[in-house]
Every structure is written in C-alpha cells, then in structure tokens.
Amino acid sequence: MAAKKAGCFITVEGADGSGKSTVISLLYDYLHDRGWNVLLTREPGGIEIAEKIRTIILNPEHTQMDKRTEALLYAAARSQHFAERVLPALQAGKVVLCDRFIDSSLAYQGYARGLGIDEVYAINRFAVGDYMPDLTLFFDVRPEVGLARINANKGREINRLDLEDIRFHQQVQEGYRLVRERFPERFVTIDAEQSLEQVFEVARTILEERLQEFRI
C-alpha cells in the first residue's frame, strides 16, 4: 500500500441512531447529481473476505470472543475493504464516502470496551497502511435520543435492556469525544438532533467547502 492516494477520503461517524447512514446516502446522491465521481461504501461493503470476517464477529454463538480478537477482526475486515475498494477508488481520483472507519473502532473497542484508544489505533494504522480520512463528519446525538430513534423505528418503548445499552452508548459517546479531541484537524461535529433536512444541509455545506479546496 505504498502508492500515493489522489482522491478525497471522507468518513462519517456517530452513535447508532444518529442518522449518519441516511444523510451519507443523500450526500452521495447530491454529489453524484453534480457530476462528482463518488464512491459510497461502508465496511465490510460486500467485499467477500471482509464479509466472512464480519460473519465471525457478529455470530451470536461466539459469546466467548475476546475483546482483542474482536478488535483485530474489525481491523482485518477494514484492511481488506480498504485495500480492495477504498484505496483503488482514491487512486483513481474519486471522492470516497465511507460510513464508519477507524474512529468507530477507537470509540467502541478502544474506549467503550476498554482496550485503549492508543492500542486500537496502532493495529488499525497497520491495517490501512497509515492512511487516514481527509475529513470526518461526526453526527452528534445524545445516546438516549439515538436509542429512542432506533426504538421508534422498531415501534416499541425503551425497555430495561435498552437502558443497559444506554450505559454502553454513553461510553461510546465519551470515546468519540476523546477521539475528536485527538484529531481536531479532520473532525467536524454536526448537531444531529436537528431535523434530517437541517442535518443534511449542514453536512452538504461542509462537504462542498472541503471539495472546493480539493478541486484546486
């Protein structure tokens, strides 16, 4: 992975229920309609090897999976998706929009699961050959709001187990705060408790400004 990249690498991050996946697909349509050469992707992104690795992570029978194993498998799936899909697109000069990337591992595995942000960053840098996004949009939503949105979609009330979840999601939120503090040059935080239209508008404006710099 020594070849230089030429395109623009943009990632979106945030808690479950932050609306990032909906907004990223609207951003894709917007840029695509305006003639940008864009790739919209997410891990594992249909990449066969990465999908197989993800199946191991998510298998509910694997209750004995160690936290470090989980972190390494996320990094392995990321490495394959990056090498097979993201890097070739960047080298072809595309704008790559990726739903979750290294920062998810830093917040979830590094902080919320307690493995350490530095430790998880080290294995992920190895996994993607030190490439980092040019811009990361962070969709900021309080965990209880995110969870309520997810549950509204499922059409049910928040229950006791969801409240357990809230503690974990609060940890994730704190993890993201630390990660944003660490990489202030590439992170932009968007208030994701506004309406979808407002969130899209803010995200679109930030993205277009950044792409203007990129075009020059």
- Contact 143/15 with Cβ under 8 angstroms? yes
**HSE toward the beta carbon, residue 10, CA cutoff 13 A:** 27
Report the distance separating Cα 128 and Cα 80, nearest Å: 9
Terminal CA-CA length for the chain: 25
Residue found under tokens 């993890």: 175
Q: How far is the CB of 14 from ligand TYD (least distance, A)?
A: 8
Q: Which is nearer to ligand TYD, 80 or 109 (CB)?
A: 109
Q: Which is nearer to ligand TYD, 36 or 170 (CB)?
A: 170
Binding-site member from 11, 80, 104, 136 for ligand TYD (CB under 6 A): 104
Q: Does 111 bind ligand TYD (CB under 6 A)?
A: no
Could you tell me how far CA 95 lies from the centroid of its own chain? Answer: 16
Subset of residues 34 to 73 that bind ligand TYD, contact rule: CB under 6 A? 42-43
Subset of residues 8 to 37 that bind ligand TYD, contact rule: CB under 6 A? 16, 21
Question: Which among 133, 143, 142, 144 has a CA at the least distance from the CA of 106?
Answer: 133
φ/ψ of residue 57, rounded to 5: -60, -45
Q: How far is the CB of 43 from ligand TYD (least distance, A)?
A: 5
Binding-site member from 74, 111, 121, 138 for ligand TYD (CB under 6 A): 74
Segment near ligand TYD (CB under 6 A), from 81-89, 103-111, 136-144, 154-162? 103-111
Six-digit token string for 68: 């470090």
Segment near ligand TYD (CB under 6 A), from 29-37, 81-89, 102-110, 191-199? 102-110
Q: Which is nearer to ligand TYD, 100 or 149 (CB)?
A: 100
Binding-site member from 41, 105, 136, 173 for ligand TYD (CB under 6 A): 105
Q: Does 140 bind ligand TYD (CB under 6 A)?
A: no
Q: Which is nearer to ligand TYD, 9 or 108 (CB)?
A: 108
Q: How many CB atoms lie within 10 A of CB 121?
A: 18
Q: Which is nearer to ligand TYD, 34 or 167 (CB)?
A: 167
- Contact 19/139 with Cβ under 8 angstroms? yes
Q: How many CB atoms lie within 10 A of CB 163?
A: 11
DSSP 8-state symbol, 112: I
Name the site residues for ligand TYD (rule: CB under 6 A). 16, 21, 42-43, 74, 99-100, 104-105, 108-109
